Structures are given as C-alpha cells and as structure tokens.
A and B are shown apart, each in its own frame.
Chain A
Amino acid sequence: MKNGLFATINIGASAFRMQISEFNDGHERIMETLVKPLGLGKDTFTKGYITLDSVYKATNILQMFRHKLDEYGIKKNYKCVCTSGVREARNRYFLIDHVMNKTGLKLEIIDPSDEIYIKYIGVKNDIKGFESYEKKGVLFANISSGNVSINILKDDTSIFSGSLPYGSLRLRQLFKGIPIHSRYKAYNQYVETMFNTINSSLGGASKIKYLVCSGSSVNTLQFIFNPKVNYFHRTELEELYERVKDKTSQENMTALGIRISEAKVLVPMLETYLRLMQFVGTDKVQFSRKSFPNVLTRYYSNNIRDNGFRNRLRNTLYYLGRRYNFDEPHSKVVTDYSVQIFDALGDLHNLGMNERMLLEAAAILHDIGYYIDARMHHEHSYYIAKAFDMPGLDQEQIKIIAFLVLMHRVGTDESTETRLSYLNMETQLTIRKLVSILRIADALDTSHMQLVETVDVDVQSSKIIIKARTRKHAYLEKLGFDQKKDMFLETFGIPVELEMKVLYE
C-alpha cells in the first residue's frame, strides 16, 4: 500500500462506523473515527428487510460520511463494507442502489467468512504469540448483533469454521416477548443449542486452550471494566451477569453508563461469553483493542498479513479429507505430482502461487465425494468443495477448487460446460490449465496403489514427456493416462506423453 490516507466505513447491524487513517511506511495514524448508531439489524432480523425509514436514515448518515471523505479529499481510497444487518436483508440491493444514487458511495457486502477472517488476522497481528495459539488450540469468536462467528484452530488446522445465528441482537429480538425476570433463562437454554451444532460438527472432543473474542461487544465490555490487561476474567463477567440478568435495559443503561443499544443486548452477550468460556474451559477471554474499522483499514491497505496460511490451508484440507474417509496416500501422491508438473511447466501456463495453491487444494480433495457415493463421485466432490469454508479463502478461489475436482474425472461434458460458461474467460482458462495438470497427476496413480516411485517432467519444444519410474508394470496408469491426456493437448497446444520404466526388473 502506498502511503497516504485511507478510509473504511463499516455498516454493522447496530451502528455505522468510519475510520480515516494516514499511513506512512507501515505506520498508522488514525485521523478520525465516527460512530453513528442505527439498528439496521433490528429490521433485518425481525422483518427480513430494511424498512424505508431506515434506508433513508442510513442514507443520511452515509451522506454525512461522504462529506467527511470530501473534507479529507478522499476520492477512491476507501472501502465501504456491510455485514449481516444488510447482508441478510431481502431489499439489500435496493439499499445499495439508493445509497449509490444519493451519495456516490459504493457499498460492498462482505461475506461472513471474509468478515471473520479480517477480524481474525487483526487479532492475530495484535496478540503476541498468537501463532502458538494456532497450534495449541484456540477458539476465535466474533460476537456481533446478528451472528456468532466461530473459528476453532488446533495443530495449525482450522477444525471448525462457521457463522451461527446466535448474535446478541438476534437473541434479544427472539425473546423480547418473555418477561424480563425469566428471559435470561431462555437465553441460557438457547445459547446451549449453539454448542450442539459445534459439537456435532467436530465429532469428538478437541482440547482447546485459548479463547479470543472480537466484535462490538468487546467495546462494551472494555467500557464497563476498563481493564488494564487484554483479557476479561470469568469472575468479572459472572458478577456482572448476576447484577444485570433480570434488570431492564433502561436500568442497566443508567447503572453502567452504556448506550441503550448496548444495554439491550448485554445479557444475551454475557450469556454467550460465559458459555464460550465453559466450552473452552478457560477463565480468560482475550481480546484485541483494535476496532473493526481499524482492522479493515489496515487489511484493505495491506498493512497486516496472515503468516502460515498456506500451511494451515493444507492441514485443514487433509483434515477434511479424513472426515470424508479419503484415500490419503492417493491424494498425497496426486498432490505431489500435480505440484511437480505445475512447477515444471511454469513457462507454459504462466500461473502464479495462488493458482498453485488452488491446484494443490483440489488435488487433496479430488476424490472426497466417494464418501457420499462412488457413482458420480466427482459431482459429490464438487458439492463438498463448494461448501468448503475456511477464513482466508474467498468464494472465487473455492469455486475454482470445486471446478477442478468436478472436472478431474470426466473432463468436460455438457453440464460442466454450462456451469463453466457462467465464469469469466480468465477463470475458465485457469481452470482448464489446472485441471489438465490434475488429470495427468491423477492418472499417474490410477490404480491407487502408488506404483509410481518418481516422476520427471521433460519439457521439449514439441512435446512434454512425463517420465515415471514404477515399482512394477503400471497398466492401469498407462490406460488412465491415455484417457486423460487429450485435455492437456487441447489446453496447452502441446502433447503430453508418458514414458514408464519399471525400476526393479
């Protein structure tokens, strides 16, 4: 990122926030932060859409933000992102269009997994020694008004990632009909069901050591406790809970000096915190003092990064594969050959590290659909891959992985072509290049018996020769190769041939 001014606007479920920062050689100076409360989430989570009145109010706030940007002379260096309050509203596109027309601001809806990912790396860059947490087990939770996004990491593997509809405002709306003196019991019961989901998805006990939270709720708690350290202790939260659980929002607002919008969600939020601590088995909730707009600003201006992402992705994919009972040795060698061929053909495909990572991911997952059914397993692999969710991998990347596993087997047929045609040309081309390589790699272990010991890729001017040394005659591999090599020629305009040599004869 070049030095200069950068602004982010974050439209959350209960407030609009803007931050303007100046960056100078990686050094950030916050020029201005603005917070305007407006509960779009209240509309969205109860009615399913944003009322016209709220649309107008939102537009007014954004108009004001626009003027602020103009004051600083910011024309393009801004990001305006919306989270669940807009994301889940039926009339979200109307809001976006209306705001565009009235203010010229371009709103973007951020995917839940991107949102949590940005927060995640914000925390990761802020908490010392966080990389060791990723090994020892950490539950990262972002409690927002709408959802609780949870990401559990252990052994550098993302073992759970999901956005669950248990946000504080959602809970509050759900139970507002229940009398105040027993409402906290309803929260208690309800939040417990969230852990059913997590537990049933995890399948077994995984020991986690740390709990790290983010979201606007952290700001509220920081205001209440004003802690010197970067964590809240269980006893503090329990005491607060006992004090506020059966009081009205008004009472809590005046007693604690917080905003009414914060007071309204205080009890469900504390409930969620306490249950998370119980789940993890810790007395501390750690947090980062960096606000979301701040993290957004640093993320979009490329001032923070995620060390060890590739390694984590690889671990996570193998973890997923084991969940679907995949043939691990087969996936392993296909992955190795894929990457090896990819690396040897750099001049031919002109693709970069990102594509290499996608090829590797697809090679790990290519047969995963067998678990559902052997018939049409490539379709099942495609389906599972499409639903794969790991913070840090965006929808476009997941789509490419899904297409690679789909096409690894049949190449293209009518239905695949139709689906491909919805993608833009560059993406289609990338997919064809990568899948041509994946098919060759898969063919080299057609028998699933790892007969091939080593592979050399000999790039000649008129053809590519794959030289395979095998343990014994690999008839199936030869057959598989002949069936799958055509796409390579079609894609790269150069034939690929297989030379096999039996090692021990």
Chain B
Amino acid sequence: MLGNGINIAVVDIGSNTVRLQVSQVKDKSYRVLEEYKESVRLGDEVFEYGMITEAALNRLLVSLKEVRAIIDNWKVHQVRAVATASFRGASNYSEVIQKVTDVCGFGVEMISGEEEARYTFIAASANFQISKYHALVLDIGGGSAEYSVVNKGRLEKAHSVELGCNRLTKKFIKSDPVTNTEYQTLKDFLVKEVRKLKLPRTIDLLICTGGSMGNLSTIHYLACGQRADRTVKYLERKHLKKLINDIRNKTIAERIQIPGMEEKRADIILAAAMQVDAVLEETDGEGLYTLSGGLRSGLTIDTINKMGFELPFQSNMDNVRHSRLIEIGNKFSFEERHARQVTKLARKLFDGLHTELGLDKADWAVLEAASLLHDIGNYISYSSHHKHSQYLIMNSDLMGYSHDEIITIGNIARYHRKSPPRQSHRYFRMMTGDGQRKIAAMSAVLRAADGLDRSHKSLVRDLEVLVKPKKIEIKLISDHNLSLEKKKFEMKKDLLEEISGKELIIL
C-alpha cells in the first residue's frame, strides 16, 4: 500500500487544551505513536473578551513549539492542525494563524462546528457498530457542543450550539461551591436548550466525546476499581446523577481531591455532566458511552482518507454485512446461486417499484438480507421452511443490522411463500403500522423475485420495470424458455398487485 509506514500528525487546538496525535499509517490501519496534551485554556479569554489576548497567544505558542519538536522527532510526513470554537469566537484569529505559521512552520485550519461534528462522527463509527443504531454523538468542548444525530450509520443532522462547558461555567457559575440557585438556573437553561434541538425520541445510543466527559467516566471507572485507560467507557445514568450530586456540593479544591479528576477541569466538569444528563432526560436514555480522542482520531482518519485510503470500517460496511449474510447462508447450506439470483431480481424489481410500493431506497438493505437468506430454513426441514428461515434469521448474529431490522428481515423471509402477513402472526404484529406496510411490500417483491427463479437455474438474465398509470409491465430478458418462471410469477404477483394497486403484466 502506498504511504505504508509514513507518519502523520494531527493537532487539535481546542478551547481548553492543545492536543497532538502522531500516528503511523500501516496496512489499511494506523497506530498511534505518541500523544501530547497541554491545557492552554484559550477559551477563558476568548469567551470573555472576544479575542485571543497576548497572554493567551503566548501560552499557545509555548505549547505549539513543543508540538513542533515532537513532530520533528517523528519525521512526520504531514501535519494537520485545526482550531475550533476559541478561534471561531476570536476577532483576531487570522493574525494568530499567521503568527503560528511563522513560529511553528505549519498552518492552522479553522474548522466549523459542523466539521468538528463530522470528525467526531468518523471516530465514533470507527469505535461503534454505529450503523446498527440511532445514535447521538455529542462532543462537549469548552466553547461549543456538537450534536450529531446519526441514523443507521448515516449522519442525519449536525448542530453546533454554544453550550461548551467553559462558556456555560463562565456564564452561570460564580460561587464556590455552586449555590442551589446557580445550579437550578443552569439546569433549567440546559433543559430548555436541549429541548430546542428537537432530538429524535428514537435515539438508542449516546456517545460523548470531549475531555470533560471522558474525565468524568474515568473518575467513575477508578471509583469502581476498573481500568480507566480504555478508549470507550460506559456510564449509567444513575452513576452520572450520583457524580453530579457529589461534585455540586464540593468546592473546586475539594473536587480536585477526587481520584482521577483533572485539575484544570474541576470547575467546568459539572456543566458538562449536567448537559449530558439533560440529554438523557430528553431522550429517555439509560446511560452513555464516552469516547476519548474523538476529534483527533476522526482527524487522523480523515487525513488518511485525504491521502487516498479508506479504512476497512468505512469502505466496506456494506461488504462486511454482505459477507456475513453469505457466511450465514453457507452455514445453513443455502443454494447460493439461487439466493444470489433472487437477490439480483429483487433488486431490479425494488429499483423499479420502490416508489410505487412506498418504500425508501434505504429499505434495500433489509430486503437484500431477506432475499439472500429466504430459503435457509430448508436446513431444518423443507416443510414450513419459510418459518424456519425466520427463526434462523432472528437467532443468527446479522452484523450491521439493528434489532428492528432483523425482525423485519425475518418477517420478509417468512412471507416469501404461503400465507401473506396477518395480524395473528406474532412477529408481524409487533411491528409498527409503517413497519408492517413495508414488510408486506418487500415480501411481495421477494415472492415475485423467487417465482422468477423457480427453476433455480438463473434463467432470467435481466428485467425491466415499466410503470404506467394503470399497470406495471415487467419485461424479462432471457435466452431460455421461461414458461415455468412466468407461470410462477403469475401465481405470486397478487400481493404486488394488491399493494401497488396496479395490474402486473409480464412481457
């Protein structure tokens, strides 16, 4: 691989800290060679005066000179430095960038909150099976907080809001220890602000990045006697609440005594914790994951991408999923050729008919799985094999699909023959109305596709779907006699006709 063995460095100039990560790119992967962190707290001045003061600039330059030394030591091929909220809020940011370039020899990109969210999202996808969930990735920085709503691996929405913990602490907390009024005012404010974001109710995974939340989970892990050096940590909401109550009643000096507490975060950590609690309240969540080094790993991965490489988790999510489906198929001795042919035909029908049937493009992922696995139940027995397929699908670990998707796949496979969906069927009944509608539509497609390979000989080379006002024409392309497939299609098309409300004609 081109670029194998070369070193890259990313620098993240945040409102609180300057961080450096030096990594070596190797075999579609990378490994971290060195990390550096220095608390510079640019945000303190920026949020107060709207600029980077002389004193702040000096602190920054001292730190960046050290960064430069480390980079030189590792003979780094490429340096990427980014600055976030503190620069965005500083009127003199361009002068500062110029100064840094002069002194340190590398430029600084000022990135937007949305970009920040994107890098964090990349890091989260590298660490979590994010495509399985409806996730919220929350990066609480010093100046801003980035909310990324990720649905099944796709970034749905990204908000950058001015809810960084330095900013909030400066604005709401004046006393030490915090008074009840201050605490309550901040809490009310956070609840109100979080509500404004209109977060989806369906969020089932909360991933927090940013140093303050990372520190909080470290404190918790240490308190439970667990190793805290993991990249990903889990914090239950009840423990979060307990931490909040502990911290709010302590002075900053007392907080520093808490094992694991980073001295320079002791004041701002409360605001971060309270914000996350407000999010959990709003989304009815039971806990959160913290991911350390989110922005930096995201930046590193993005830098590698810009060099022209994709990491396996990025490029091949679909492939990983697909090969897992084939693996399951083989485990239950499926007829691979038939399965692939049905999948191919289902794809053609789906592409031509999904709007007619009220399906989204994204629904293909579940229909694909159902098409590949529709006959695996034969392994248990031929009779009722559609039900056995459903059972095996629901009990095999289909990578990359959420719980609901797996139930959907099982249902579609179940309805590939015999009875159409009925409310009396347990796993159909448990789906929402819209879910049921889609299952019916997709199983109708699968039935037709299965019928079109009735001979199991892949006789249909291709097909075209023509949607007309009152009818749908399916043109089959083949060099063979298709009387059997046509016959079977005629028998299996009724469900499709019912759902589309149009007559289906084979040409």
Which residues of B (412-458) have their CB < 8 Å from a CB of A?
Answer: 454-456
Complex contact A373–B397 (CB within 8 A): yes
Complex contact A197–B392 (CB within 8 A): no
Q: Please, what's the 1-or-0 string for A336-377, where 1 marks a CB less than 8 Å from any CB in chain B?
A: 000000000000000000000000000000000000110010
B399 to chain A, nearest CB (A): 14
The verdict on A174 contacting chain B, using a C-beta distance below 8 Å, is yes
Instruction: Indicate which residue in B333, B384, B397, B481 contacts A185 across the interface (CB closer than 8 Å).
Output: B481
Complex contact B382–A162 (CB within 8 A): yes
* A189-B455, A372-B396, A373-B396 as given contacts; A174 in contact with B382, CB under 8 Å: no
Complex contact A200–B335 (CB within 8 A): yes
Nearest residue (CB) in B for A203 is B333
The verdict on B170 contacting chain A, using a C-beta distance below 8 Å, is no
Complex contact A164–B483 (CB within 8 A): no
Complex contact A192–B333 (CB within 8 A): no
Complex contact B483–A182 (CB within 8 A): yes
Most chain A CB neighbours (cut-off 10 Å) among B381, B388, B391, B491: B381
Complex contact A162–B381 (CB within 8 A): yes
Most chain B CB neighbours (cut-off 10 Å) among A162, A200, A383: A200
Contacts of A408 in B (CB 8 A): none
Complex contact A383–B378 (CB within 8 A): no
Which residues of B (360-393) have their CB < 8 Å from a CB of A?
Answer: 378-384, 388, 391-392
Complex contact A376–B381 (CB within 8 A): no
A162 to chain B, nearest CB (A): 5
Q: Complex formed: what's the CA distance from A387 to B377 in Å? A: 11
Which residues of A (427-469) have their CB < 8 Å from a CB of B?
Answer: none
Interface size on B, residues (CB 8 A): 25
Instruction: Indicate which residue in A177, A178, A201, A372 contacts B382 across the interface (CB closer than 8 Å).
Output: A201
B107 to chain A, nearest CB (A): 53
Complex contact A387–B456 (CB within 8 A): no
Contacts of B335 in A (CB 8 A): 196, 200
* A193-B455, A380-B395, A383-B391 as given contacts; A389 in contact with B483, CB under 8 Å: no
Complex contact B395–A387 (CB within 8 A): no
Contacts of B396 in A (CB 8 A): 372-373
Contacts of B484 in A (CB 8 A): 186, 189-190
Instruction: Indicate which residue in A112, A182, A186, A376 contacts B395 across the interface (CB closer than 8 Å).
Output: A376
Q: Please, what's the 1-or-0 string for B328-372, where 1 marks a CB less than 8 Å from any CB in chain A?
A: 000001110010000000000000000000000000000000000
Contacts of B334 in A (CB 8 A): 200
Which residues of B (234-278) have their CB < 8 Å from a CB of A?
Answer: none
Contacts of B381 in A (CB 8 A): 162, 201, 387-389
Q: Complex formed: what's the CA distance from A175 to B486 in Å? A: 11
Most chain A CB neighbours (cut-off 10 Å) among B333, B379, B384, B455: B379
Complex contact A162–B392 (CB within 8 A): no
Most chain B CB neighbours (cut-off 10 Å) among A189, A203, A388: A189
* A185-B481, A196-B456, A387-B388 as given contacts; A201 in contact with B378, CB under 8 Å: yes
Complex contact A193–B456 (CB within 8 A): yes
* A174-B487, A185-B483, A186-B487 as given contacts; A387 in contact with B380, CB under 8 Å: yes
The verdict on A384 contacting chain B, using a C-beta distance below 8 Å, is yes
Instruction: Indicate which residue in B333, B338, B383 contacts A162 across the interface (CB closer than 8 Å).
Output: B383
Q: Complex formed: what's the CA distance from A334 to B168 in Å? A: 66
Contacts of B388 in A (CB 8 A): 387
Complex contact B382–A193 (CB within 8 A): no
Complex contact B487–A193 (CB within 8 A): no
The verdict on A303 contacting chain B, using a C-beta distance below 8 Å, is no
Q: Complex formed: what's the CA distance from A193 to B338 in Å? A: 11
Contacts of B487 in A (CB 8 A): 174-175, 177-178, 186
Which residues of A (173-217) have their CB < 8 Å from a CB of B?
Answer: 174-175, 177-178, 182, 185-186, 189-190, 192-193, 196-197, 200-201, 203
Q: Complex formed: what's the CA distance from A186 to B455 in Å? A: 10
Complex contact B380–A384 (CB within 8 A): yes
A415 to chain B, nearest CB (A): 13
Nearest residue (CB) in A for B397 is A373
Interface size on A, residues (CB 8 A): 29
B8 to chain A, nearest CB (A): 41
Contacts of B455 in A (CB 8 A): 189, 192-193
Complex contact A164–B382 (CB within 8 A): yes
Q: Complex formed: what's the CA distance from A201 to B397 in Å? A: 23
Contacts of A282 in B (CB 8 A): none
Contacts of A470 in B (CB 8 A): none
Nearest residue (CB) in B for A147 is B383
Q: Complex formed: what's the CA distance from A192 to B388 in Å? A: 23
Complex contact B384–A387 (CB within 8 A): yes
Q: Complex formed: what's the CA distance from A372 to B328 in Å? A: 10
* A178-B487, A186-B487, A192-B455 as given contacts; A197 in contact with B382, CB under 8 Å: yes
Contacts of B380 in A (CB 8 A): 383-384, 387
Q: Please, what's the 1-or-0 string for B395-413, where 1 marks a CB less than 8 Å from any CB in chain A?
A: 1110000000000000000
Contacts of B338 in A (CB 8 A): 196
The verdict on A163 contacting chain B, using a C-beta distance below 8 Å, is yes
Q: Complex formed: what's the CA distance from A415 to B338 in Å? A: 38
Contacts of B378 in A (CB 8 A): 197, 200-201
Q: Complex formed: what's the CA distance from A189 to B388 in Å? A: 26
Q: Please, what's the 1-or-0 string for B289-318, where 1 marks a CB less than 8 Å from any CB in chain A?
A: 000000000000000000000000000000
Q: Please, what's the 1-or-0 string for B47-81, where 1 marks a CB less than 8 Å from any CB in chain A?
A: 00000000000000000000000000000000000
Q: Complex formed: what's the CA distance from A203 to B332 in Å? A: 10
Q: Complex formed: what's the CA distance from A175 to B483 in Å? A: 10
Contacts of A384 in B (CB 8 A): 380
Q: Complex formed: what's the CA distance from A384 to B487 in Å? A: 34
Contacts of B397 in A (CB 8 A): 373
B456 to chain A, nearest CB (A): 5
Contacts of A372 in B (CB 8 A): 392, 395-396
Contacts of A196 in B (CB 8 A): 335, 338, 456
* A189-B455, A372-B392 as given contacts; A178 in contact with B384, CB under 8 Å: no
Which residues of A (201-256) have their CB < 8 Å from a CB of B?
Answer: 201, 203
Q: Complex formed: what's the CA distance from A197 to B455 in Å? A: 11
B393 to chain A, nearest CB (A): 11
Q: Complex formed: what's the CA distance from A118 to B357 in Å? A: 48
Q: Complex formed: what's the CA distance from A230 to B378 in Å? A: 35
Nearest residue (CB) in A for B333 is A203
Q: Please, what's the 1-or-0 string for B71-104, where 1 marks a CB less than 8 Å from any CB in chain A?
A: 0000000000000000000000000000000000
Complex contact A200–B395 (CB within 8 A): no
Most chain B CB neighbours (cut-off 10 Å) among A163, A182, A372: A372
Q: Complex formed: what's the CA distance from A190 to B481 in Å? A: 13
Contacts of A185 in B (CB 8 A): 481, 483
Q: Complex formed: what's the CA distance from A389 to B456 in Å? A: 25
Q: Complex formed: what's the CA distance from A373 to B338 in Å? A: 25
Instruction: Indicate which residue in B379, B383, B456, B483 contacts A186 across the interface (CB closer than 8 Å).
Output: B483
B422 to chain A, nearest CB (A): 13
Complex contact B454–A193 (CB within 8 A): yes
Contacts of B391 in A (CB 8 A): 383
A92 to chain B, nearest CB (A): 16
Q: Complex formed: what's the CA distance from A196 to B378 in Å? A: 11
A43 to chain B, nearest CB (A): 17
Q: Complex formed: what's the CA distance from A383 to B380 in Å? A: 9
Contacts of B383 in A (CB 8 A): 112, 162-163, 389
Contacts of A387 in B (CB 8 A): 380-381, 384, 388
Q: Complex formed: what's the CA distance from A28 to B395 in Å? A: 53
B296 to chain A, nearest CB (A): 36
3 nearest CB pairs, A to B? A189-B484, A162-B382, A387-B380
Residues on B facing A (Cβ under 8 Å) = 333-335, 338, 378-384, 388, 391-392, 395-397, 454-456, 481, 483-484, 487, 491
* Interface CB pairs A-B, < 8 A, 7: A163-B383, A178-B483, A193-B455, A197-B382, A200-B334, A203-B333, A383-B391
Extra contacts, 5 of them, besides A200-B378, A203-B333 (Cβ < 8 A), are A162-B383, A178-B483, A189-B483, A201-B378, A201-B379
Residues on A facing B (Cβ under 8 Å) = 112, 162-164, 174-175, 177-178, 182, 185-186, 189-190, 192-193, 196-197, 200-201, 203, 372-373, 376, 380, 383-384, 387-389
